[in-house]
Structure 1
Amino acid sequence: MNRRNALKLGATALAGLYLSPLLGKSYILDSSISKGPFEPNWDSLAKYVVPDWFRDAKFGMWAHWGPQCEPEAGDWYGRGMYEEGSRQYKFHIEKYGHPSKFGFKDVINVWKADNWNPEELVNLYKTAGAKYFMAMANHHDNLDLYDSKYQPNWNSTKVGPKKDIIAGWEKAARKAGLPFAVSVHAAHAWNWFDTSQGADKNGPLAGVPYDGKLTKADGKGTWWDGLDPQELYAQNHPLSAKPSNNSSVHSQWDWADGASVPSTDYSEKFHDRTIDLIDKYNPDMIYFDDTALPLWPISNAGLRIAAHLYNKSLKKNKKVQAVITGKILTESQRKAIVWDIEKGQSNSIEPLPWQTDTCIGNWHYDRRVYNDKRYKSAKTVIHTLIDVVSKNGNLMLNIPVRGDGSIDELEREIVKEIGVWMKLNSKSIYGTRPWKIFGEGPQQESAGALTAQGFNEGKGKPYTSEDIRFAQKDKTLYATVMGWPENGVALIKSLGKSSPHRTEKIKQIRLVSTGEKLNFKQTEHGLEVYFPNQKPQASYANALEII
């Protein structure tokens, strides 16, 4: 008798049950958790200490890649294609046909990933300075991109490319000597796919249902004969009391605001899929695209996953080397897992290590961004990295991958440009810790406040040579001037003679990128640093080594 059947029969001896003090939901005490000191509750997980490899790495790169990249039409395609009148709906009809006849399951079928070379891409990212690599294991579209025991039919080894995507990425990362991370997003398919339950309200196919409620019996004579679409779409349930749309789906991310609450079977299947992922591919890090942990607070599935990973890592390494990230965390939850800020950054030095995740384009590949040349520049990426590091954070950067598994030439050039700066200046990044203050200058005064998961990037003024960011390593202070001073002199006000932040005498200053010693003068008003006449490469951010 498996755990799920035991639950159905009401037997609690195998799994155990207790009631959530928050919502009255049944939580499972899972005997399959790897044995160790971490238990599936926030207090126990708060014993966690972030490993040094993550704190030292500072910069990771991410392949946020799956079947939704095949249309090359941007983020959340698997949801947007079912929203009548939307850009993606119109695109879908023109490219594939009506979503009652060609649904997302059929998009998966045409995704072949035939130009995917994981080793080449991972090596490119490593050369650009990435110290860890992350691959998407599944998205809200619910397709597992690995040989999934508990999603046996709707995974990338059985449909679409018929390749073990995670195995390919993992092999490439291990060969490159990079810690391997996976991102897991599938907990939300329950509500995210609810648009697939709809139908057009207008036009010749008004009232004809989209394919979101199809079952195995409907597949006779089709390419998906024998497959059950409900194992993918998970829509065999009523819609939310407040049906989600472009706005309310976000308000329901924590399973509140009238959201349809997933069944125990759904939650346990997600749990089992994720444990299977951990045990087969041994990721060093898991990124969860969830408020806190997956399915919290309606289920403790995420807590059990976290306890399992920490105990497993402790047993293997003698101390926990694993990292888990989550979003919108309380102060106490930030002790248990690493706080991730999406497309934004903190405005102060955080007491605990954290991470920002962002991308140079859209999360899923979007041909419009390429055509319009709207990618983030290497300069923007580097400025973000420096700012994040000064505040005790890491940067995880997504390079959108095309449906065929390649990146375009504009992206490739940006990655190489990032590598130019990193090669010259990385000693001011890797292995550093925050200083007494993170920086100075007008940019921070204009920075936007965090909202929801983050989303404050790009809201402040552009960085100039008046903006300084600090970090330290051993007895060395790094001050990065976020531009080239046109008058040849950088003024660092926080290092003046009267500054309370640094009382030690300054003996020497070098420009990190060239190693050149620079002249300087310390006054009551600040430290004047005299820059050379010749600009180095990538002079939009100039790290100074101060001893």
Structure 2
Amino acid sequence: MSEPFEPTLESLRTFACPDWFRDAKFGIWSHWGAQSVPRAGDWYARRMYCEGTEQYRYHLRTYGHPSEFGYKDLVRLWKAERFDPEALMDQFAAAGAKYFVAQAMHHDNFFNYDSAIHRWNSVRMGPGKDIVGLWKAAADRHRLPFGIAEHLGATYTWSAVNKGSDEHGPYAGVPYDGNDPAYADLYTTSRLEGRAEAVKVDPWYAADPAWHRHWLAVISEVIDRYQPELLYSDGPLPFGAQSYEAGLQAVARLYNASAARHGGANQAVYNQKDRDASIYQVGVLDIERSQEPDIKADPWQTDTSIGDWFYDVRDVYKTSAHVIELLIDIVAKNGNLLLNVPQRPDGTIDVECSTLLEEVGRWLAMCGEGIYGTRPFRVMGEGPAAVRIDGFTEEAVQWTSADFRFTRKGSTLYAFQLRWPEDGRAVIRTLTPADKVRSVRLLGHGEVEFEQAYGVLVARLPDRAEAEPVSCLALEVPSLR
């Protein structure tokens, strides 16, 4: 069988999003690795080498100076001793997740699988476990499409700070352990351009062709070994405008491998963050901790977390209501929500995360009919409130009972009323006189009485909502077929 995709922009732009992804709407992500060990949040492997940051001070006072106890030593403390992927996948499936994504590696360059290319991995040291393989087995048991996230593209420049030294204090001028060539395979050979590099985020992708070749070899290994139906790159198509050849080869490999498993039809999805460079769009747009302002013609995805990306004991989590409201607003705009659940270093999740998952699962069991397998209506919704689109801004919206978000499936229009009305009425003004409603159901309750004049629909609701925090009306509109 010939391969349907070539590693070119022209060929990969023919990608069509598979129905499983469009129908799934809600996925769960394990953004987990050795950086969870300190319980001090995201980017620890970088910021522990940035003098003056909170994580530098924490590392100095907890483990010692990074010239004496570096990240190479910290990864060996990760044991994942209570990691139970089967039990966790049970929780994720019960929460309503329809796909699952495991992290293969973060920018820290420590791999969560048994790589033949890279010795710094979770089988040869630390947990002694193939984390990715264990996740895949658990996802396969639940028949959840399995995805893999890679953050390796930015590693080369991201890790340059480990070649520095303190400017002040008793360790001033003492080189960090990243300067030791014995550990260059973990710390990379990148060098600092100046002290300013130690505190700012470096250019996202390295221009070094050797790194491009290394990245492609690693991602090819992951694709061949775990056969993912989703591959997430934390950034644009590698390596952006510098050279996207490696990225194109990886995406073609992903799609062709999937097509070989599915009778010639690709079922895989590549997630990329080329929001402002559509020329490189060869998969599904991913937007980190933000979203689209309106319906997007092509399917897309928001990725976010209940709290910080890596476990942080200081964290303040989103509420289940906030997560549900995000999901509704995103799905109404033709998007999916990929939600990270922070794991402690031992592999468990805390009671707050478990409770949130239970609450989201209960709501989806009642109102998931209006989420799964739906497509956008002609408008995303109505009402005065809207999410704020501003970088990584994710604050909860002060919705009103006049705010609705719409989805549809066949002749059924689903209207999510984002706050329960004090007067017990749902007033929907978007419908036209041609949209004659035959019946109205309140999901979790049953049929309700309604009136419709000049398109405007007024439904009379029961005394209280069975589905909290957001209720959903299912309107039968024969003309929508």
Query: Under a length normalisation based on structure 2, what TM-score does the superposition of the two structures give?
Result: 0.95
TM-aligned CA deviation for residue 237 of structure 1: 3.6
Selected match of 2:42 from 63, 75, 96: 75
Which residue in 1 is equivalent to 2:435?
504
Which residue in 1 is equivalent to 2:301?
355
Which residue in 2 is equivalent to 1:518?
448
* Deviations 1:306-343, CA, capped at 9 Å, x for gaps: 01111111122120100000003346447521000000
| Maintained 8 Å contact 1:267/1:295 | no
| Maintained 8 Å contact 1:496/1:524 | yes
Is 2:386 aligned against 1:457?
A: no
* Deviations 1:172-215, CA, capped at 9 Å, x for gaps: 00011111011000111111111111111111111001111212
The alignment covers a number of residue pairs equal to 475
Which residue in 2 is equivalent to 1:101?
68
| Maintained 8 Å contact 1:194/1:239 | yes
Question: For 1:37 and 1:461, how far apart are their aligned partners in 2?
Answer: 44
Question: For 2:449 and 2:195, how far apart are their aligned partners in 1?
Answer: 65
Question: For 1:319 and 1:240, how far apart are their aligned partners in 2?
Answer: 47
Question: For 2:138 and 2:420, how far apart are their aligned partners in 1?
Answer: 38
Matched ranges for 1:149-168 at <5 A? 149-151=116-118, 153-168=119-134
Question: For 1:341 and 1:388, how far apart are their aligned partners in 2?
Answer: 11
Is 2:388 aligned against 1:448?
A: yes
Question: For 2:298 and 2:276, how far apart are their aligned partners in 1?
Answer: 13
TM-aligned CA deviation for residue 94 of structure 1: 1.3
Question: For 1:79 and 1:233, how far apart are their aligned partners in 2?
Answer: 10
Q: Which amino acid aligns with 2:429?
A: K
SS of 2:116's equivalent in the other structure is: coil
Question: For 1:487 and 1:208, how far apart are their aligned partners in 2?
Answer: 69
Q: Which amino acid aligns with 1:139?
A: H
| Maintained 8 Å contact 2:237/2:244 | no
Question: For 1:353 and 1:242, how far apart are their aligned partners in 2?
Answer: 42
* Deviations 1:116-152, CA, capped at 9 Å, x for gaps: 001110110000100001110000001111111211x
Is 2:282 aligned against 1:336?
A: yes
Question: For 1:51 and 1:469, how far apart are their aligned partners in 2?
Answer: 24
| Maintained 8 Å contact 1:149/1:273 | no
| Maintained 8 Å contact 1:137/1:166 | yes
Matched ranges for 1:387-426 at <5 A? 387-426=329-368
Runs of 4 or more above 6 Å deviation: none
| Maintained 8 Å contact 1:180/1:283 | yes
Selected match of 2:243 from 266, 282, 298: 298
Question: For 1:141 and 1:411, how far apart are their aligned partners in 2?
Answer: 25
Is 2:475 aligned against 1:546?
A: yes
Q: Which amino acid aligns with 2:129?
A: K
TM-aligned CA deviation for residue 495 of structure 1: 2.3
Question: For 1:67 and 1:363, how far apart are their aligned partners in 2?
Answer: 12
Q: Specify every segment of 5 or more residues in structure 1 that has no aligned partner in the other structure, as ranges.
A: 1-33, 217-228, 256-260, 498-502
TM-aligned CA deviation for residue 268 of structure 1: 0.9
SS of 2:15's equivalent in the other structure is: coil
Classify 1:132/1:203 alpha carbon distance in 2 versus 1 (closer, same or farther; 3 Å).
Answer: same
Which residue in 1 is equivalent to 2:185?
231
* Deviations 1:237-291, CA, capped at 9 Å, x for gaps: 4334795354443xx22x4xxxxx4422221111111101111111110010012
| Maintained 8 Å contact 2:164/2:192 | no
| Maintained 8 Å contact 2:150/2:234 | yes
Which residue in 1 is equivalent to 2:466?
536
Which residue in 2 is equivalent to 1:315?
260
Question: For 2:255 and 2:234, how far apart are their aligned partners in 1?
Answer: 19
Question: For 2:2 and 2:155, how far apart are their aligned partners in 1?
Answer: 30
| Maintained 8 Å contact 2:238/2:244 | no
Selected match of 1:171 from 112, 130, 137: 137
Matched ranges for 1:462-477 at <5 A? 462-477=398-413
Q: Which amino acid aligns with 2:470?
A: A
| Maintained 8 Å contact 2:432/2:454 | yes
SS of 2:420's equivalent in the other structure is: coil
Question: For 1:307 and 1:243, how far apart are their aligned partners in 2?
Answer: 38
TM-aligned CA deviation for residue 35 of structure 1: 5.8
Selected match of 2:222 from 268, 272, 277: 277
| Maintained 8 Å contact 1:443/1:461 | yes
Is 2:21 aligned against 1:54?
A: yes
| Maintained 8 Å contact 1:190/1:262 | no
| Maintained 8 Å contact 2:148/2:231 | yes
Q: Specify every segment of 5 or more residues in structure 2 that has no aligned partner in the other structure, as ranges.
A: 477-481
Q: Which amino acid aligns with 1:509?
A: V
Question: For 1:240 and 1:39, how far apart are their aligned partners in 2?
Answer: 38
Which residue in 2 is equivalent to 1:12?
none
Classify 1:511/1:192 alpha carbon distance in 2 versus 1 (closer, same or farther; 3 Å).
Answer: same
Question: For 2:239 and 2:364, how far apart are their aligned partners in 1?
Answer: 35
**Aligned-pair RMSD on alpha carbons?**
1.8
Question: For 1:405 and 1:66, how far apart are their aligned partners in 2?
Answer: 9
SS of 1:387's equivalent in the other structure is: helix
Classify 1:353/1:450 alpha carbon distance in 2 versus 1 (closer, same or farther; 3 Å).
Answer: farther
Q: Which amino acid aligns with 1:505?
A: K
Q: Which amino acid aligns with 2:440?
A: I
| Maintained 8 Å contact 2:106/2:152 | yes
| Maintained 8 Å contact 1:345/1:457 | no
* Deviations 1:88-131, CA, capped at 9 Å, x for gaps: 01111111111111111111011111010011101100001000
| Maintained 8 Å contact 2:161/2:192 | no
SS of 1:425's equivalent in the other structure is: helix
Question: For 2:219 and 2:130, how far apart are their aligned partners in 1?
Answer: 15
TM-aligned CA deviation for residue 380 of structure 1: 0.4
Q: Which amino acid aligns with 1:533?
A: D
Selected match of 1:115 from 59, 82, 88: 82
TM-aligned CA deviation for residue 534 of structure 1: 3.2
| Maintained 8 Å contact 2:443/2:467 | no
Question: For 1:351 and 1:111, how far apart are their aligned partners in 2?
Answer: 43
Which residue in 2 is equivalent to 1:7?
none
* Deviations 1:342-368, CA, capped at 9 Å, x for gaps: 001100100100000010100011111
Classify 1:247/1:201 alpha carbon distance in 2 versus 1 (closer, same or farther; 3 Å).
Answer: closer
Question: For 1:296 and 1:279, how far apart are their aligned partners in 2?
Answer: 27
SS of 1:173's equivalent in the other structure is: helix
Is 2:378 aligned against 1:432?
A: no
TM-aligned CA deviation for residue 431 of structure 1: 0.3
| Between 308-317 and 167-176, the greater mean CA deviation after superposition | 308-317
Q: Which amino acid aligns with 2:124?
A: K
What is the identity percentage for the equivalent residue pairs of Structure 1 and Structure 2? 41
TM-aligned CA deviation for residue 301 of structure 1: 0.8
TM-aligned CA deviation for residue 443 of structure 1: 1.4
* Deviations 1:365-415, CA, capped at 9 Å, x for gaps: 11111xxxx210110000000000000000000000111100001111111
Which residue in 1 is equivalent to 2:420?
484
SS of 1:130's equivalent in the other structure is: coil
SS of 2:441's equivalent in the other structure is: strand
